[in-house]
């Protein structure tokens, strides 16, 4: 790798997966610790003035965007401003910006898979913030790759998977939507995709733009929950053996979670040669890490 790589968010689950995977191929990331109160436009300006990497992967807000149950409007607004400044700095220093986004930019009103050509109509605060962030990145920094991911799964105790498994330890009804669809995507797989993109950008391929990536085989939260519980049973005796189906419309997050969140991944395949991997194959190592670390 000729490019000098910087990673914001090296401490979260996706950042750790990317560092782990890079180390296997002798690809190193400069991963600065964030200031105590998080990155601000001023601290980002100082950081990039000091280091000037060739490419920057911004996972600074990964947990809030992909794993947190809720995020306040004020917090999202601060993150928007920080990313807007980051994009301006990357353009100024001619740094390639790799920026994650999400299926949440779509409203889930169509039953067929969303492609990069479909017009985003986000539902909730998070989706709306991500759509504005995408627009500011495109406007400020042409040299960017925006990666929209599906349902990301990681081993963090307070992430989506962790919250589900914690609830499964209590004898209670575990309700999951059986008429909602999306693509589960383990963080190891997402890290593989980011690394593959970086390796091709390292060959001076100007493949800027927006791309979708999500694990192979669309499914429902109910079927995903069943698969997780079956795998978790190898590690721990859980109180809940099977989740209970519930309609999307009855779910507490129905107003902000797209009912149909399946992503079409043809563009990333044709441009970068990145093939979707089956999410089921990623569950065993994910749960192994969860129970080892938890």
State how far the Cα of 272 lies from the Cα of 98, in Å rounded to an integer: 14
Using the CB atoms, write b or e for 99-112: b if 16+ within 10 Å. bbbbbbbbbbeeee
246 Cβ contact partners less than 8 Å away, ≥ 6 residues apart: 175, 176, 177, 178
Coil/strand/helix, residue 81: helix
Task: Kindly report, residue by residue over 30-89, the tens digit of the pLDDT.
Answer: 999 999 989 999 999 999 999 999 999 999 999 999 999 999 999 999 999 999 999 999
Task: Kindly report, residue by residue over 253-290, the tens digit of the pLDDT.
Answer: 999 999 999 999 999 999 999 999 999 999 999 999 99
* 293 pLDDT higher than 80: no
Would you state the pLDDT for residue 202? 92
Would you state the pLDDT for residue 294? 60
Which tokens in the block code for residue 85? Answer: 């400044």
State how far the Cα of 57 lies from the Cα of 30, in Å rounded to an integer: 10
Within 10 A of 6 (CB to CB), how many other CB atoms are there?
A: 21
Would you state the pLDDT for residue 68? 96
Task: Kindly report, residue by residue over 215-233, the tens digit of the pLDDT.
Answer: 999 999 999 999 999 999 9
Task: Kindly report, residue by residue over 109-140, the tens digit of the pLDDT.
Answer: 999 999 999 999 999 999 999 999 999 999 99
Would you state the pLDDT for residue 206? 82
- In this prediction, residues 9-25 reach a mean pLDDT of 97
**Average model confidence (pLDDT) for the chain?**
96
Query: What ranges make up the beta strands (E) of the chain?
Result: 5-8, 29-30, 55-58, 96-102, 144-149, 151-153, 175-177, 181-182, 184-186, 209-213, 244-246, 260-261
Would you state the pLDDT for residue 205? 78
């Amino acid at each position: 790798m000729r490019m000098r790589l910087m990673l914001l968010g090296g401490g979260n689950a996706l950042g750790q997966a990317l560092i782990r995977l890079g180390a296997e191929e002798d690809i190193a990331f400069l991963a600065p610790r964030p200031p105590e109160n998080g990155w601000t436009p001023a601290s980002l300006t100082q950081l990039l003035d000091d280091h000037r990497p060739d490419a920057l992967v911004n996972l600074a807000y990964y947990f809030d965007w992909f794993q947190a149950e809720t995020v306040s409007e004020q917090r999202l607004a601060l993150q928007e401003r920080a990313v807007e400044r980051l994009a301006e700095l990357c353009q100024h220093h001619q740094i390639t910006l790799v920026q994650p986004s999400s299926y949440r930019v779509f409203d889930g009103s169509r039953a067929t898979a969303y492609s990069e050509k479909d017009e985003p109509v986000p539902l909730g605060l998070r989706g709306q913030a991500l759509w504005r962030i995408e627009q500011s990145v495109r406007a400020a920094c042409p040299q960017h790759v925006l990666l929209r991911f599906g349902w990301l799964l990681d081993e963090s105790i307070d992430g989506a998977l962790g919250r589900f498994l914690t609830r499964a330890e209590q004898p209670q009804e575990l309700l999951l939507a059986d008429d909602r669809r999306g693509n589960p995507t383990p963080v190891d797989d997402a890290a593989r995709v980011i690394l593959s993109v970086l390796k091709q950008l390292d060959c001076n391929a100007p493949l800027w733009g927006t791309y979708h990536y999500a694990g192979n085989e669309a499914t429902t939260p109910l079927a995903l929950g069943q698969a997780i519980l079956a795998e978790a049973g190898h590690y721990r005796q859980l109180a809940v053996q099977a989740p209970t189906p519930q309609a999307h419309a009855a779910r507490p997050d129905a107003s902000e979670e797209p009912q149909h969140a399946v992503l079409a991944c043809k563009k990333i395949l044709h441009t970068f040669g990145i093939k979707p991997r089956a999410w089921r194959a990623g569950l065993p190592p994910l749960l192994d890490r969860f129970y080892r670390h938890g």
